[in-house]
Amino acid sequence: MPSDIEIARAATLKPIAQVAERVGIPDEALHNYGKYIAKIDHGFIQSLESRPDGKLILVTAISPTPAGEGKTTTTVGLGDALNRIGKKAVIALREPSLGPCFGMKGGAAGGGRSQVVPMEQINLHFTGDFHAITSAHSLAAALIDNHVYWANELNIDVRRIHWRRVVDMNDRALRAINQSLGGVANGFPREDGFDITVASEVMAVFCLARDLADLEERLGKIVIAETRDRKLVTLKDVKATGAMTVLLKDALQPNLVQTLEGNPALIHGGPFANIAHGCNSVIATRSALKLGEYTVTEAGFGADLGAEKFLDIKCRQAGLKPSAVVIVATVRALKMHGGVDKKSLGSENVEALEKGFANLERHVTNVRNFGLPVVVGVNHFYADTDAEHAKLKELCQSRLGVEAITCKHWAEGGAGAEGLAQAVVKLAEGEQKPLVHAYETEAKLSDKIRAIATKLYGAGDVQIESKAAGKLATFEKDGYGSLPICMAKTQYSFSTDPSLMGAPTGHVIAVRDVRLSAGAGFVVAICGEIMTMPGLPKVPAADTIRLDANGQIDGLF
């Protein structure tokens, strides 16, 4: 099998207008970025409003392991397969972040024969959306310090400016800085630091906004500092929102690309999946629903984090409901959840698979508790044995009464996921129950955290540290009590201990800190150390990335 990049380069791409035409997007609604990428005009997006929605399919996964699951690959493969079986399907995915490309080798546009293309552009600057978000965030930062510099009429307490700065690069040296040094002309010295752009609240707002007006309103609600008398200061107070919206205007138009099989994919937005909700933009998802009979989308991390946030934050805010959920699992990963180490994954081990099945089982149960129909997509790897696949199917059927479908889209493209597509259509066109959220918005903030931890994570208890508890009380007093919760914890375990695989029970979820994301519209509960600025490894991918003699990019994938 050739490499991802070889497959992507060998593909014959359709002109993007032809991809657009298939889902009824006229030429004049496209803003081209080269021949194979286009943004879809705001005006056309608005004109879709009155159309009925197609069916929404969420692709989520078991708790990730180093063995790999293939959530994006399954999303692409399923989209292609739905098109193959005669359904007009559109894929909606997150945009990859630029910075991490230069750390560990690898892109984020699917793999094998289930990719979105052109993968090099998608993985690098793409249409500049993240650059626009970086600019808007940076402008806000400059305006805040500029306000303090000149007269500080808002009486901002420079010790309590919560708005950090961002750059789309893995740069640990900027995590903690002292700024405004060097004398009077440079402002009032204070502590600050940089996050990577995907961790910006502007990114979360961008991905939850319904349109430009909603974007501007949400930006205005972002709390960026406190005054000396502890009043909250917003981006609206520092008059940043108009100019930020101007900077984000073009970026907010969703990006249309294609799969290797020429089917439409909207790739738009990409918030962190820990301190934010980790899904592509609401605008892209809603547009896809208007354009296709089926929309296939994914949520970050495992279903405990990704699907929960997708359902309790994104669906709630945007009025969406999936018609079916695919939980991606692999034999390899379940064996790791069953205690096998990475080196031994090549050998058949039905017993470990059965032990690790507990992880899948809990994710399936959790998603069903939302009232949603579930199918398990088993992403096939070469070393898997028939006995293992048979066992997994049998366990799914006997213990959960769900179908598990082996998928070979990585090797075969959409043809390898037709079985999954058939199963998805059966569920989506079958009986639908109402969406049952993990908690009601009227509950106390701490009770919402407790609900997620006990119902979804299997936790025995939640311990909210006193500082965090105090902040929750303040949020409620300040009128933010009805916001949903965004859990920031390790994706590797249902617990807060990344080494606790499988399906632990009775553990304690310790909430170390909480943060208000008033523009995005959620309260972040931080459990454990959350890294918002990655570093580069000792031998970064950047060392060997270069243009080869033919002007092709070498070393990036």
Give me the least distance between CB of 212 and its own copies, in Å please.
6
The one catalytic residue among 8, 55, 60, 71: 71
Of the pair 187, 528, the CB lying nearest its own copies is at: 187
Among 51, 172, 426, 444, binds its own copies (CB under 8 A): 172
Q: Are 438 and 455 in contact (CB under 8 A)?
A: yes
Residues 213-252 that bind its own copies (CB under 8 A): 216, 239-243, 245-247, 249-250
- Concerning whether 390 is annotated as a catalytic residue, the answer is no
Report the distance separating Cα 347 and Cα 192, nearest Å.
Answer: 50
- Concerning whether 163 is annotated as a catalytic residue, the answer is no
The one catalytic residue among 87, 94, 218, 309: 94
- Concerning whether 188 is annotated as a catalytic residue, the answer is no
Task: Verify binding: residue 98, its own copies, rule CB under 8 A.
Answer: yes
Cβ atoms within 10 Å, residue 512: 17
Give me the least distance between CB of 533 and its own copies, in Å please.
9
Distances (CA, A) of 383 to 67, 259, 331, 345, 389: 12, 26, 9, 8, 11
Task: Verify binding: residue 180, its own copies, rule CB under 8 A.
Answer: yes
Stretch that binds its own copies, among 58-66, 191-199, 280-288, 294-302 (CB under 8 A): 191-199
Residue linked to tokens 């510099």: 149
Of the pair 292, 519, the CB lying nearest its own copies is at: 519
Is 68 one of the annotated binding-site residues?
Answer: yes
Three-class SS of residue 386?
Answer: helix
Q: Which two tokens stand for residue 434?
A: 């109402």
Is 309 one of the annotated binding-site residues?
Answer: no
User: Helix 418-428 to helix 71-84 angle, to the nearest 10 degrees?
Assistant: 80
Among 48, 102, 105, 400, binds its own copies (CB under 8 A): 102
Give me the least distance between CB of 241 and its own copies, in Å please.
8
Among 178, 347, 369, 505, binds its own copies (CB under 8 A): 178
The β-bridge relationship of strands 294-298 and 55-61 is parallel
- Concerning whether 71 is annotated as a catalytic residue, the answer is yes
Give me the least distance between CB of 171 and its own copies, in Å please.
4
Task: Verify binding: residue 17, its own copies, rule CB under 8 A.
Answer: no
Residues 31-50 that bind its own copies (CB under 8 A): 31-35, 42
Q: Which two tokens stand for residue 178?
A: 């002292």
Task: Verify binding: residue 186, its own copies, rule CB under 8 A.
Answer: yes
- Concerning whether 273 is annotated as a catalytic residue, the answer is yes
Among 7, 40, 109, 143, binds its own copies (CB under 8 A): 143
For the chain, the distance separating the N- and C-terminal CA atoms, rounded to the nearest angstrom, is 15
- Indicate the DSSP class of residue 458: -
- Concerning whether 410 is annotated as a catalytic residue, the answer is yes
The one catalytic residue among 209, 273, 318, 417: 273
| Residue (of 281, 218, 276) closest to 245 by Cα position | 218
Task: Verify binding: residue 142, its own copies, rule CB under 8 A.
Answer: yes
Stretch that binds its own copies, among 55-63, 149-157, 410-418, 515-523 (CB under 8 A): 149-157
The beta-carbon contacts of 180-185 under 8 Å, at least 24 apart in sequence, are 180/145
User: Helix 212-221 to helix 201-208 angle, to the nearest 10 degrees?
Assistant: 140
Residues 60-79 that bind its own copies (CB under 8 A): none
Q: Which amino acid, residue 407?
A: C
Is 70 one of the annotated binding-site residues?
Answer: yes
225 CB contacts (<8 Å, ≥6 apart)? Answer: 144, 156, 157, 160, 161, 162, 163, 232, 233
Is 67 one of the annotated binding-site residues?
Answer: yes
Task: Verify binding: residue 149, its own copies, rule CB under 8 A.
Answer: yes
- Concerning whether 105 is annotated as a catalytic residue, the answer is yes
Among 18, 49, 66, 181, binds its own copies (CB under 8 A): 181
Task: Verify binding: residue 538, its own copies, rule CB under 8 A.
Answer: yes
The one catalytic residue among 130, 194, 301, 494: 301
Task: Verify binding: residue 546, its own copies, rule CB under 8 A.
Answer: yes
Residues 115-134 that bind its own copies (CB under 8 A): 121, 124-125, 128, 131-132, 134
- Concerning whether 301 is annotated as a catalytic residue, the answer is yes
Which helix or strand (DSSP H or E) is residue 359 part of?
helix 350-369
Among 6, 49, 159, 176, binds its own copies (CB under 8 A): 176
Of the pair 1, 142, the CB lying nearest its own copies is at: 142
Give me the least distance between CB of 158 and its own copies, in Å please.
10
Name the burial class of residue 195, with classes exposed (0-12), middle (13-18) and buried (19+) by CB atoms within 10 angstroms of its CB.
Answer: buried
Q: What angle do CA 546, 550, 556 make, to 5 degrees?
A: 30
Among 10, 50, 52, 151, binds its own copies (CB under 8 A): 151
Of the pair 86, 242, the CB lying nearest its own copies is at: 242
Give me the least distance between CB of 441 and its own copies, in Å please.
30
Report the distance separating Cα 80 and Cα 77, nearest Å.
Answer: 5
The beta-carbon contacts of 393-399 under 8 Å, at least 24 apart in sequence, are 395/354, 395/357, 396/360, 396/364, 399/357, 399/361
Q: Which amino acid, residue 257?
A: V
User: Helix 386-395 to helix 350-369 angle, to the nearest 10 degrees?
Assistant: 40
Task: Verify binding: residue 10, its own copies, rule CB under 8 A.
Answer: no
Task: Verify binding: residue 182, its own copies, rule CB under 8 A.
Answer: yes
Residues 455-484 that bind its own copies (CB under 8 A): none
The size of the chain, in residues, is 557
Q: What is the DSSP string of 73-101?
A: HHHHHHHHHHHHTT--EEEEEPPPPSGGG
Write out the catalytic residue numbers: 71, 73, 94, 105, 273, 301, 381, 410
Binding residues for ATP, as ranges, are: 65-72
